[in-house]
Amino acid sequence: MATDTIRIGLVSISDRAFSGVYEDKGIPSLQEWLGRALATPWESILRVIPDEQAVIESTLCDLVDVEGCSLVLTTGGTGPAVRDVTPDATLAVADKVMPGFGEQMRQISLQFVPTAILSRQVAVIRKRCLIINLPGQPKAIAQTLEGLKDAHGKTIIPGIFAAVPYCLDLIEAPHIDTNPDIVQAFRPKSAQKPA
């Protein structure tokens, strides 16, 4: 598929941010990181919504089915608390589950906090869109997407975004390229475009 502008849904799921108790920091953090990481034209569709499963499900469906997003990134609502229903809503709208993303996100977070094991983050495919539940904290969002690097900038633990471009290729979404200084996209040699 030719390089198109990719539409990316960014969803902050938080009762308090939705009601204006505090300013959402998840979406600005995602926009800043994507601005540095993507070398392909992109546009974002933004949503700040409450921790309500029906609202999350309808928002995800709208972003994929109506807005035409090829990638949707959510923040918040992935823990074991009663109001944390983001993974449940995400799984409810899925055509396929992509468990490797959740496994890698927890692996990265466990380098910092033992409570990362409590995270229920998932990733799924709906139609030709990849939906990923990310952590709620801006620093954790960047670490999860980018991975962990040593003092010389060498990747120690790969971030999940390295696999996103190839996943999008496989589901016939728009082709995207990344800035290798931020995150090096991995594609098998057979899937790489000629320079």
**What pLDDT score does 187 carry?**
93
* DSSP state for residue 172 in the 8-state scheme: T
Name residues of the chain where pLDDT drops below 50.
1-2
SS3 for 73-140 is: EEECCCCCCCCCCHHHHHHHCCCEECHHHHHHHHHHHCCCCHHHHHCCCCEEEECCEEEEEECCCHHH
- The CB density around residue 102, as the number of other CB atoms within 10 Å, is 21
Q: Are strands 129-134 and 123-126 parallel, antiparallel or unpaired?
A: antiparallel
**What pLDDT score does 50 carry?**
96
Domain that holds residue 108: 6-190
Domain count, the chain: 1
**What pLDDT score does 110 carry?**
93
What pTM was computed for the model? 0.94
The pair of three-digit structure tokens given for residue 139, joined into one six-digit string: 């620093």
**What pLDDT score does 19 carry?**
86
Residue 195 counted as domain residue = no
Residue 104 counted as domain residue = yes
Question: Which CATH number belongs to the domain containing residue 62 in this structure?
Answer: 3.40.980.10
Residue 68 counted as domain residue = yes
**What pLDDT score does 150 carry?**
86
List pLDDT tens digits, range 34-63.
999 999 999 999 999 999 999 999 999 999
**What pLDDT score does 63 carry?**
98
Report the mean per-residue pLDDT for the chain. Answer: 93
**What pLDDT score does 123 carry?**
98
**What pLDDT score does 1 carry?**
41
